[in-house]
Every structure is written in C-alpha cells, then in structure tokens.
C-alpha cells in the first residue's frame, strides 16, 4: 500500500467523522439524504478520496450533533 497523501491531522479528522456518524446511529445513506448528496459523497469523504471544505464540515457536524471544533481539535 502506498503512502497516504493526507497528513496525520487530516487522517484524524476522517476517523472522527466516521466515529461521529456511527455514534449518531446513522448510515452513510442516511447522512447523504440529509445533506442532499449521493451516498458516494459520504463514502468518498470518509475514505479521504474527497477533501472537505469548511462549509461541508459544518454541515456534517450539524447532522452529527457536534460542534465543528470536535473534528479539528
């Protein structure tokens, strides 16, 4: 397997995103529906294939009932 293109900080963000989704009891499909995105969007975000911007992170935090600071601290 090749070296990750993401920093350790970004990898930690991705891990927190997935944990927050699971803690909220949501599937990728359910999150996608709430965001009005395809399920593949959530999958690509969680895998790091698609990089998040601040607005998208805020939307995910809202769906998961978390503050954005939870993901970046």
Domain-by-domain residue ranges, the chain?
Answer: 8-72
- Reported confidence tier of residue 1, pLDDT bands at 50, 70, 90: very low
What's the whole-model pTM score? 0.88
Question: pLDDT, tens digit, for every residue of 3-57?
Answer: 556 789 899 999 999 999 999 999 999 999 999 999 999 999 999 999 999 999 9
Q: Write 16-22 long-range contacts (CB < 8 A, 24+).
A: 16/70, 16/71, 17/45, 17/46, 17/60, 17/64, 17/71, 18/46, 20/60, 20/61, 20/64, 20/66, 20/70, 20/71, 21/46, 21/64
Q: What is the pLDDT of residue 13?
A: 94
Q: Which CATH class is domain 8-72?
A: mainly alpha
């Amino acid at each position: 397997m090749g070296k990750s293109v993401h920093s350790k900080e970004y990898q930690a963000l991705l891990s927190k995103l997935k944990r927050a989704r699971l803690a909220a009891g949501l599937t990728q499909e359910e999150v996608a529906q709430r965001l009005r995105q395809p399920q593949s969007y959530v999958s690509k975000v969680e895998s790091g294939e698609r990089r998040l911007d601040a607005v998208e992170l805020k939307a995910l935090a809202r769906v998961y009932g978390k503050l954005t600071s939870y993901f970046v601290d």
